Structure 1
Amino acid sequence: MYYRNANCAVVVYDITQASSLDKAKSWVKELQRQADPNIVIALAGNKSDLSARRAVDTEEAKAYADDLNLLFFETSAKTATNVNELFTSIGAGLNPRGVDLNRPPPNTNCAC
């Protein structure tokens, strides 16, 4: 339900925990099964600032992403490494699909 009408999704795994990539793969499979067939999916290996504790090889995750035509980035939420690049790439993927990236946000003046 959360992603049924989504135009994009970011599936994040922890590069220091191999099991988190397996969980991310199950989310990608779910998105491919349930979401719009044109959804832009990005796979993000987070905690790149902890590369000394790496448990997931970059090449393994990238090969998986490439096989499924996913965007792929290794990021760090702590240092903001590749975060802007990730969202810029998603935006570029959405733009050819007719998503208006310059549309002003809806009026959020609500007395809720």
Structure 2
Amino acid sequence: MAMANSSETHNFKVVLLGEGCVGKTSLVLRYVEDKFNSKHMSTVQASFLNKKLSIDGNRVNLSIWDTAGQEKFHALGPIYYRSSNGAVLVYDITDEDSFQKVKSWVKELRKMLGTEISLIIVGNKSDLEKDRHVNLEEAESYAEKVKAIHYQTSAKLNQGVEEMFLALTQKMLDEAKEKAAQQSHLTRNNSQRIVTVVDDDQVPTNKSCCSSG
């Protein structure tokens, strides 16, 4: 028997943001194609890959946009993230500055899109733990404060990558269902409003009964 909503496909746009060299492209390639290239590949502008998956009977099509981290791209950012349902904000655990840049992206996304976009903050290159320069507790505390989910990943070792994208997809599904429920409730309330119009001509009037015959 087909599950309810089995015919519905959710289309979500996800954008990856972060400084250059933090591993955004490596994360996408590992997740979508299960590939890893040890040579650094600089993303010049923006490209996207598709990933189809199913979560509890919900079919999902992810369009994952991989963006360049250079400053010259920053001004073009809004073009790519304006219609996004989710964002993966990536930093390198060995680079404190890349974590501070994530905070800047969060401020910009919240300013532009409010809480309508689901956020995941990712500390990549967890295989370089011995060279860590970003305090894990601080990063997790910050993520909680801005209502984001924090994950540690290693694209090189394929650790935490799929779990991170699944968590984001589930978060976007929950947001979409909550939004649909609110719209349905609003529509239902509006359809139940009953307006009664009273014609003044039909309102009975009290006539005097004290006139003499």
* TM range, smaller chain: 0.7 to 0.9
- Secondary structure in 2 matching 1:73: strand
Residue 35 of structure 1 pairs with residue 116 of structure 2: no
Shift of 1:18: 0.6
- Tell me which residue corresponds to 1:17: 95
Shift of 1:97: 2.6
Contact 1:43 1:70 in 2 (8 A): yes
CA distance in 1, matches of 2:176, 2:109: 20
Residue 59 of structure 1 pairs with residue 146 of structure 2: no
Alignment length (residue pairs): 99
- For structure 1, list consecutive stretches of 5 or more residues without a partner in the other structure: 100-112
- Tell me which residue corresponds to 1:77: 155
- Tell me which residue corresponds to 2:128: 50
TM-score when normalising by structure 2: 0.45
Contact 1:5 1:36 in 2 (8 A): no
Aligned residue among 83, 99, 104 for 1:26: 104
Question: Which amino acid in the other structure matches residue 26 of structure 1?
Answer: S
CA distance in 1, matches of 2:176, 2:151: 24
- Secondary structure in 1 matching 2:165: helix
CA RMSD of the aligned region, Å? 1.2
CA distance in 1, matches of 2:83, 2:124: 25
- Tell me which residue corresponds to 1:109: none
Question: Which amino acid in the other structure matches residue 32 of structure 1?
Answer: R
Percent identity between matched residues is 41
- Secondary structure in 1 matching 2:101: helix
TM-score when normalising by structure 1: 0.84
- For structure 2, list consecutive stretches of 5 or more residues without a partner in the other structure: 1-78, 178-213
CA distance in 1, matches of 2:176, 2:112: 21
Q: Work out which of the two has the higher radius of gyration on C-alpha atoms and give 1 or 2.
A: 2
Shift of 1:36: 5.2
Contact 1:15 1:55 in 2 (8 A): yes
CA distance in 2, matches of 1:83, 1:98: 23
Deviations 1:49-76 (A, max 9, x none): 0000000011010000011110100111
- Secondary structure in 1 matching 2:107: helix
